[in-house]
A and B are shown apart, each in its own frame.
Chain A
Amino acid sequence: MATTLFDIAAERLEESTDMDRLAARGTLRLALKEAGLDTQNFSLAQLRTVFERLMPKELEARGVPHGVAICSAVMNGVASIASTADLSTAESPDEIFKRLGGR
C-alpha cells in the first residue's frame, strides 16, 4: 500500500507505462536525484517540476513513447490521490533555511 508521495508517484508511473515496479521506482529515483531531491522528503510542487522538466527525458531514454502525456497524466493522478491522503512530510531543510535567514 502506497504511503508516501514517492510510493504513490511510482505506482502511478508503473500503471501508466510498461515498466515493472522496480523500473518505475528506479526511474523516479533517478529523476529525483537529478533534481537534487531526497526520495523521502519532497513536496507535490517539487514533484510536479520533476515530472514536467526531467521525467519526459528519463522515459524517452528508456524507450517509453509519449513521455510528456504520460507525465501529465501521472501528475494529475498523484495530485488527486495526494489531495485526499494524509501525506504529512517533514519540513525540508530548504524551507527551514529560507525562513531562518528571512529578510
Chain B
Amino acid sequence: MEEYAYLTSILASIFYLATSARLLRLHRRTRERPECLLGLYFACSGLYYLAYNVPSLLGFDGWPPSIGLAVEWVYNLGVLPYLLFIRLVFRPNDVWAVGLVAFASGCLLVAGVALTAGGHVDYSLDNPWFLTQWLGYTIPCAWIGCEAVLDWRSSGKRARLGLVQPLVVNRYLLLALFGASQFLACLSDLLFAHDISNSEAVSLVTNVLLGGTEAASVVLLWLAFFPPDFYAGWIARRAHSPVAAE
C-alpha cells in the first residue's frame, strides 16, 4: 500500500510538471502573470514530490540532510507564486488578501530558515517549525478552494446570460474540488507526521489519503487544464439541455 501511495505521488509530480510546462509555454506567448505564477507553482510542486518520493520508492534511506533541506526550500518558495496567483486572480483589490499572502509567505520563509538552522527536516507534530510550514502551504489550498466555490456559484448566473462559457464554469468547480483535495492532502501530512513520530510506520489510512488525494488532484487538473473533447462536449451538451437551462 505504501508503494502505491509513493507511486501515485510520483505520477502526480510528473503530471504537475507537464501542467507547469503547458502554463509556462502559454506565458511565453501571452506575457500574462497568472499563467507564469501558476506554472512556477506546479513546477516547484512537481520537483518537490518527485524528489521527496523517489528515495522511498527505490528503497534507499533518503537524501542527505542538505539535499532534503534544499527540496523543502523548493516547495516553500514554490508556494509563494501560488499565493500571488490566488490574490491576483480572485482578490486584486482586497487589502486583507495582501495580509493573508504576507502571513502565509511569512510562515513558509520563517519555517524554512528554522529548518535550515536545525540542519535537517523533521516531520513531527512536536516540531513547531513543521507546523508553521504546514500552515503556510495549507492556507493557499483552502483559500483557492473557497474562492473557486464562490466563483463557480456566481459564474452559473453569468452563464445563463451567455457571459461565460459552460466549460469555464465547470473549470471553477474542478478547481474547487482540486483545492479540497489538496486540503485533504495537507491534513494527511499531519497524519503522516503523527505516524512517523510514534511508530516510524505509515498507517493504511494515511497512505490511502495521500495516494487518493494525489490521484484525485491529477484527474481534476487533467479535466481543468487539458479537457479532452468528450468531456468538453459533455459539459456543453449538459449546459444546453432543457433541465440545465431552467
Chain A residues close to B by CB (< 8 Å): 34-38, 40-41, 46, 49-50, 53-54, 90-91, 93-94, 96-103
Contacts and interface: CB of A to CB of B under 8 A. Distances in A.
A101 B163 contact: no
5 contacts: A36-B154, A40-B93, A93-B89, A94-B163, A103-B227
Contacts of B161: 35-36, 49-50, 53-54
A100 to B, nearest CB: 6
Contacts of A54: 161
A37 B35 CA distance: 23
Is the contact region of chain B dominated by helix, strand, or loop, or is it mixed? helix
Interface string B195-225: 0000000000000000000000000000011
B23 A103 contact: no
A91 B225 CA distance: 19
Contacts of A93: 89-90, 151, 172
Given A99-B35, A101-B224, A103-B232, A37 B92 contact: no
A63 B161 CA distance: 24
B158 A101 contact: no
Contacts of B70: none
Contact of B92 (A35, A46, A90, A98): A90
Nearest to B30: A99
Nearest to B170: A101
A18 B93 CA distance: 32
B30 A100 contact: no
B66 to A, nearest CB: 36
B164 A94 contact: yes
Contact of B157 (A34, A97, A100, A103): A34
B162 interface: yes
Contacts of A50: 161
B26 interface: yes
Contacts of A98: 164-165, 168
A36 B158 contact: yes
Contact of A102 (B26, B162, B175): B26
Contact of A35 (B35, B153, B158, B224): B158
Given A40-B93, A93-B89, A93-B90, A101 B227 contact: yes
Given A35-B163, A98-B165, A98-B168, A90 B225 contact: no
Contacts of B151: 93
B105 interface: no
Given A99-B26, A100-B26, A36 B155 contact: yes
Contact of A101 (B92, B153, B154, B225): B225
B32 interface: yes
Contacts of A91: 32, 34
B171 interface: yes
B224 A49 contact: no
Among A38, A41, A97, A99: residue with most chain B CB under 10 A? A97
A5 to B, nearest CB: 14
Contacts of B62: none
B10 interface: no
A57 B167 CA distance: 29
Nearest to A52: B161
